Structures are given as C-alpha cells and as structure tokens.
Amino acid sequence: MNRIAALAVALAASLAILPARADVSLKGPLQQGAIVVGKTEPGARVTLDGDALIVSEHGLFAIGFDRDHGAKATLIVTSPSGQTETKDLAIAPRAWNVQSIKGMAPKYVTPPPEQIARIKREQALKAASRPRDTNEEWFAEKFIWPSGGPISGVFGSQRIFNGEPRNPHYGVDVAAPKGAPIVAPADGIIRLAEPDMFFEGGLVFIDHGQGVYSQMMHMSRIDVKPGERVKQGQKIGEVGGTGRATGPHLHWGMLWRGARVDPSLMVGGVTAKGVQQGMNVGGD
C-alpha cells in the first residue's frame, strides 16, 4: 500500500469513529402534562418545535407538554462539533376526569366586576415574576410532596360549576388542614411571595430552573421572600383556605415556560397516569 492509500485508509478510519449524530437522551413520559429531562453534551444547542432551549453546564435541559398538547413535537439537538440529531416525539394523550359541582356560590364562579382591575394587575405581576432564562438544573431532581394528605383534586380535570364548564384544573390539590406545613418540593429560588391574591390567596412561586416553576396557592402563612434560595424540604409557609377556595387545602401547580404541567409526575413513586383522587400523599 502506497503512502497516499495508507493516509486515505487512516482518514476514513478516523471519520468512522466520529458520531454521526448528536448524543441525546430523554428521561420522563412523553405525554400530555409531563416535564421531560434531557441530557446531551455541554455546549450543545437544543430546540423544541423551533424554540431554543437552555442547556446547563452539565448538558441538562427541560422540555414540557401542556394538558392539551398535540400528538407530535420535534426536538433538534446540535452538538458543539456540528453533529445533529432530530427526534420526532410522539406525545401520548391522557384521559381527564370531569367534575360537576352544583350549588357553588356565584362569587366562586364569576369574579365581581369591581375586581377586574385588581385581577389584571395581579396577572401582570405573576407574568413578570416568571423569567425563562434561569440557567439552573434543580428541575432534574426527584421532587417530594410539599404537603401531606388526601388528594382532593387532580391535574387536568374539567370542573363544571353550576352547569357551566370552566377552565381545566391546572394543579394537584392536597386536602391538608389549615396550618399544616408546606415545604419546597425541590431546590429553587423564590420569585413571588404574595399573601393576598384574588384567585390564589397566599401565593408563592419557586423557580426550579429553565422555566420550571412550582406555584403554591391558598397559603395562610408565607415564610419566604422573593430572591431567597430554598432547599428541598425547607418550610416555606402553611396551608390555608385563602383566595377563591372553599376550604383549607394546598393547590400545587407547575409550569414549564408557561405550559401547564402535572406536578405529581415529578414525584418519585407516581406512575405515568399521575396521582389519583383520594390517594394519601406526603408525610412520613
């Protein structure tokens, strides 16, 4: 074999060991209401349906699918060396419970006109408290229940008040008694801590990184302030029945970049169906 031929063989062999596609793995259910943790090379570029995502220094990234997400999504990962992997994701549908509640007081169904201006101010405050660019990876932890008790409301259920369909239930309700402790389900930064919101009553936002947020509602006491870093299991306040609530309970909601997702899917031991009505959760 002459020298040129030998060089050609060596070059072909070196090219053969290069990855043809970017390295990427996904952990979590590909279904409506789920957050999925991705892993790729540090420095890679990632998009979901054309939107650029954050990739942490360890190569972790979050993707999420809201309650009504369609059947498909496209994930594209480009490695620092230029290799690209395109994944066409099939998003599984879920069956949602329908709850009919009759005899609900009108004040819990339709806000009074004099409160509309307040509601708009609070909507703006909530939107401003959810930055999308926090380059942290606390969302990749296995979450814990923020309070303990029976589940009285599940994610995605459709509530019908006095015969009128309302918005879906975007969270999980834990029927804990007033004064029961609420803890951080994972590490994060407090972005909002308001004791008297019209809908939510006592409300706390916890930023878990890359647009993943916990929302704790109807709290009777808040023990944290915006900008404070909290650790998983740290007490952040107490259960109450504040805001538009008919009794004491914790409403735990979660968001990914504005998409409403099921917090119960983030907790260890919960199946891909999510937590079910009447189950007891949390506690020792």
Residue reference for tokens 């972005």: 191
User: What percentage of the chain reaches a pLDDT higher than 90?
Assistant: 75
Q: Which helix (H) or strand (E) holds 128?
A: helix 116-128
Q: What is the pLDDT of residues 88-125, one digit of tens each?
A: 999 999 999 876 766 666 666 677 888 899 999 999 99
Rounded to an integer, what distance in angstroms lies between the CA atom of residue 284 and that of residue 149?
A: 11
Distance CA(223)–CA(204), nearest Å, equals 10
| Structure tokens given for 98 | 């329908």
Dihedral-angle region of residue 115 (phi above 0 means left; psi in -120 to 50 means alpha; beta otherwise): alpha
Residue 14, pLDDT score: 47
**Contact between 209 and 62 (Cβ < 8 Å):** yes
What is the distance between the alpha carbons of residues 147 and 174, in angstroms, rounded to a whole number? Answer: 7
Which of the four pLDDT bands, split at 50, 70 and 90, describes residue 133? Answer: confident
For strand 250-256 and strand 212-222, is the pairing parallel, antiparallel, or unpaired?
antiparallel
Query: pLDDT confidence of 158, banded at 50, 70, 90?
Result: confident
Q: Which of 191, 245, 257 minimizes the C-alpha distance to 53?
A: 257
**Residue 132 pLDDT grade (very low, low, confident, very high; cuts 50, 70, 90):** confident
Backbone angles phi, psi at 139, to 5 degrees: -60, -20
| Residue 11: predicted pLDDT | 47
What are the structure tokens assigned to 19, written together?
A: 């990855």
SS3 280: strand
Mean of per-residue pLDDT scores for the chain: 90
Which residues have C-beta within 8 Å of that of residue 13, sequence separation ≥ 6?
none
Which residue, among 95, 277, 256, 257, has the nearest Cα to 172 in the 3D structure?
Answer: 277
Confidence band for 1, pLDDT divided at 50, 70 and 90: low
CB 185, CB 112: distance < 8 Å: no
pLDDT digits (tens, 9 = 90+) for 206-264: 999 999 999 999 999 999 999 999 999 999 999 999 999 989 999 999 999 989 999 99
CA distance 268 to 284: 14
- Predicted TM-score (pTM) of the model is 0.87
